[in-house]
Amino acid sequence: MLARLLGQVVFRAEGPFPERFLNACRKENVPLQRVRRLPEGLSAEIPAGHFKALRLPAYRSRMRVRVAQKRGAGFVRHRYRKRWGLALGTLLTLGILWVSSLFIWNIEITGCLQVDAQEVKQLLETHGFHEGVFTPKMDVLRIRDAVLLEMPELIWMAINISGSYAEVQVRESVPKPEIVPEDCPQNLIAAADGTVLSATVKNGNAAVKAGDTVTKGQLLVSGVLDSKEEGLRLVRSEGQIMARIYDRFTLRCPSVMEEKSFSGRKTTHTTLNFFQFSVNLFKNGSISYSDYDTIKTVKRLSLFGVPLPISYVSVCYEETLFTTRPATEDEQRLLCEKAVADYIAAQYGAAEVLSLQTEMIPQEDGMSVQGELQAVTDIARAVPILSSRE
């Protein structure tokens, strides 16, 4: 490596006595490297500072020495010794790279699951952490603490800076479970008609048992307790009342389908961003379409794989058209099935459906579906107990 830096010469010695040439070089302590025999003589490498020492061995052995190649930084420096602009340009480039490493060029936010990463980035910008900020005067710990205080959805944050690249790692907090105060008394009533299959009461006084038939609104578990020791008191009733429910319903279903299509008309707005500065490359920013889809494309420029603080943002607005047409028989059946599934989920949640019978009936302005449902579900619904003062 040192020889390459100082300079090295590859030469060819031509003549009838290469052995004499090698012996003469050894006698004169000439350092030869990578010696190879050639039909017309030999080739070898020698440090540039010892090249002139080949004159005496070549003269004594009647060999002719010719330079085949010059290698090393010394020859490059000698070749460009009068080109000061190149040296100044190199120094200027190195200086620019060093100065640019003191600024943040690219920010990447990782760890966001439910929280929007763009929202985190905007909050960081309000506290002075953005692309183009001067890093030596930036208090990363203060910015981190301020963001965590203003965004309770985050429980942990780390800002790691490597040169002009910054990675912001976040961890989201676990939502707190809903805590109902114990001093809020309540009853459990029936949310639907049905036959009780089992009654599990954790707190309160059970008003029904397995096999009882109940109607919607009937008291299932009472939060009013009366005992000789404590007297009359109100508690928070808790329990699970599983019942077989029977429900007949009629739903209206749409008879038309709405279709979305594109007209082919597009408008594209392009913006050039440099750090925090933006330059619009379009004249009119208004959109003449009433309905349109938006497609945003961000292209960041890079140099040798390193992202630069320059990006092109292209926003394409494509006009959309909505038309209606009569639904086919298969489509009407799918619409009715979806309406029934939505009704069961809204009324009974995750109920165990035992049987479901439906019938579609054509109407003048659409389609209706009549159904009979048998299912098993928890029909207990909590209602607060209001005191006389309330």
Which pTM was predicted? 0.49
Predicted pLDDT at 334: 87
> DSSP states of 56-81 as a string?
HHHHHHT-EEEEEEEESHHHHHHHTT
Sequence-ordered list of residues with C-beta below 8 angstroms from that of 147, at least 6 positions apart, any chain: 120, 123, 124, 127, 154, 157
Architecture (CATH level 2) of domain 106-172: Roll (3.10)
SS (H, E, C) 324-350: EEECCHHHHHHHHHHHHHHHHHHHHCC
pLDDT at position 49 over 60: yes
Distance CA 170, CA 153 (A): 10
Name residue 247's beta-bridge partners: 373
Return the domain boundaries, the chain: 2-78, 106-172, 267-323
Task: Determine the topology of domain 2-78 in CATH.
Answer: Alpha-Beta Plaits (3.30.70)
- At 56-113, the pLDDT tens digits run 988 888 889 888 888 877 676 666 667 777 778 888 888 877 877 788 888 889 998 8
Predicted pLDDT at 177: 66
- At 174-213, the pLDDT tens digits run 877 666 566 688 889 998 889 999 999 888 888 999 999 9
Which one has a higher pLDDT value, 365 or 9? 9
Which two three-digit tokens encode residue 279? 């330059």
Sheet with 106-110, edge to edge strand ranges: 106-110, 165-172, 154-162
**324 neighbors 299 (Cβ within 8 angstroms):** no
